[in-house]
Chains A and B, each alone.
Chain A
Amino acid sequence: MGLLVPSLSQASAVLCFLLILLVPLAGAGLALVNSGLGRCRSAAHVMVASLCVSGVAAIVYVAIGFSWQSACGRSAHLLTIGGKTWSWIAAEPFFLRGLPLDLSAESLIVLLQMFSVGLAAVIPLSAGSDRWRLGASCASSAVLAGWTYPVFAHWVWGGGWLSQLGTNSGLGRGFVDGGGASTIHAVGGLTALSISWILGSRRGKFSADGIPAAIPGHSPVLALAGCLTAWVGWLGLNSAGAILFAGAEPSSVVLIAVNTTLSATASGLTAAVVTRVRFGRPDASLIANGWMAGLVASSASAAFLKPAAAILVGIVAGGVVLFAIDLLETRLAIDDPGGAVSVHAVAGIWGLLAVSLLSNGGSDGQWLAQLAGIATLLGFVLPLTYVLNWLLDKFYRQRVDEEGERQGMDLYELGAGAYPEFVVHSDEFMQR
């Protein structure tokens, strides 16, 4: 799929540029969701951390990340296996040297990737909420942007071996992911899982016999406003990604916007109906998670689905994310306050499967290519990101100390709370 950089007319390149300018709204929305679903005494910390990790990620990506990722058809290290040539890592100079930053497809890819890697770096903040030190989150995002993200993104978007499965092994169009369900969301979600494992749960989250305490998010309003902001960002992300990485025609942007919206709305409504039936009232936090899961699931397939299929993708995403959030918290003792693992990793993987199950004219072997991509996420990205963050933790402790967790991250690391006129409650809901 997309083994050459697309050739864009001037008008298409300008359209693509304008769509890319919407992408930071996806990161802004995600930061609001993370902040709203966390505690009020860490609300400003989440927003500051979102800005800092996005900045670190963008700088590190431009400095070294793009050198490993690059774009289709540019210089790369090749391996010959079974008489076929496979690209495993790019070989570009550091700091974008030699790359003209104009309206060419390559330069649009660099711009989109700068924003995308920032979005991927914001995702794990949700899992580390209330206990992840600011400096450690920046260091972790540098590792993500400098190595994990670009290597996997080369394999998917840079002409690497996953994208070559179509031409070299006859598996449909090779691994397909138009808007970053794998490269951005599953990578970010699996990093969130690693961070949650390494940090451990928040103080008092689980009792000695493993029963979780409910620690509610402090502002559903922020979380839901984040969903609406992210929606706009996703329209740009899915459209620009499909044009630059999946060979979609610029005229398909309307279909992509329709499918993205249908998937998000169907997923959010599914979450509303399920929580209404299960708890007697719709749950605002879970509706926010459902909405975001629908956006994530749409990323891989929005350019390839009929609208009815996009609704189905959203309905399944909404159901799956509620099940996953419940499973992770109650059965697997994973403390992920914003649901990043479920929303980004689980819904992202569902979106990747949906490409082969529901897309227009799904070709032979496409499902094997999609399974290969999912296996790579689980077998390469998850162990790699865990080991890198575990090593980082050995040199630079990632979890704040007990006093910091007691005070809240705002006071302890920033010196002031997000809501100075409000009374911040103590841990009255914690199990003692």
Chain B
Amino acid sequence: MKAAGFLLLLAGWAIVVAALLLLPSAASRVAFVLAGIVVQALGLVLAVRSHRVLDVERG
């Protein structure tokens, strides 16, 4: 679960970087950057939730 969260964080960053470096139009840049941030937010939620389950199990 945590690995999946990190992969989503990485994927979101890749979307942001690709949008800023490759897309010429301002509107599409904004849309893809925001999409990348949303993907990262999902990744962060997944990573912290997986830690909570593990840490509580460990006591």
Contact = CB atoms under 8 A, between A and B. Distances in A.
Contacts of A91: none
B30 A379 contact: no
Nearest to B54: A200
B24 to A, nearest CB: 8
A208 B16 contact: no
Interface residues of A, number: 35
Nearest to B51: A197
A63 interface: no
Nearest to B49: A332
A386 interface: yes
From A81, A171, A333, A334, residue with most partner B Cβ within 10 Å: A333
Nearest to B12: A379
A365 B43 CA distance: 25
Contacts of A365: 26
Nearest to A364: B26
B20 A333 contact: no
Nearest to A368: B33
27 contacts: A81-B21, A82-B21, A86-B21, A165-B20, A197-B51, A208-B56, A208-B59, A210-B52, A331-B52, A332-B51, A332-B52, A368-B29, A368-B30, A368-B33, A372-B33, A374-B37, A375-B12, A375-B13, A376-B13, A378-B44, A379-B9, A380-B10, A382-B9, A383-B6, A383-B9, A383-B10, A387-B6
Interface in B1-29: 2, 6, 9-14, 16-17, 20-22, 26, 29
A206 B56 contact: yes
A139 B6 CA distance: 23
Contact of A333 (B16, B22, B56): B56
Given A374-B37, A379-B11, A379-B40, 8 more contacts: A84-B21, A201-B58, A207-B59, A332-B51, A334-B51, A368-B29, A379-B16, A380-B13
A411 interface: no
A371 B16 contact: yes
Contacts of B30: 368
A93 B16 CA distance: 32
A169 interface: yes
A61 to B, nearest CB: 25
B29 A206 contact: no
A428 interface: no
Interface in A137-170: 161, 165, 169
B44 A333 contact: no
B38 to A, nearest CB: 11
Interface string A350-388: 000000000000000100100110111011101100110
A375 B22 contact: no
Contacts of B22: 81-82
B53 to A, nearest CB: 9
Contacts of B55: 200-201, 206, 333-335
Interface in A68-97: 81-82, 84, 86
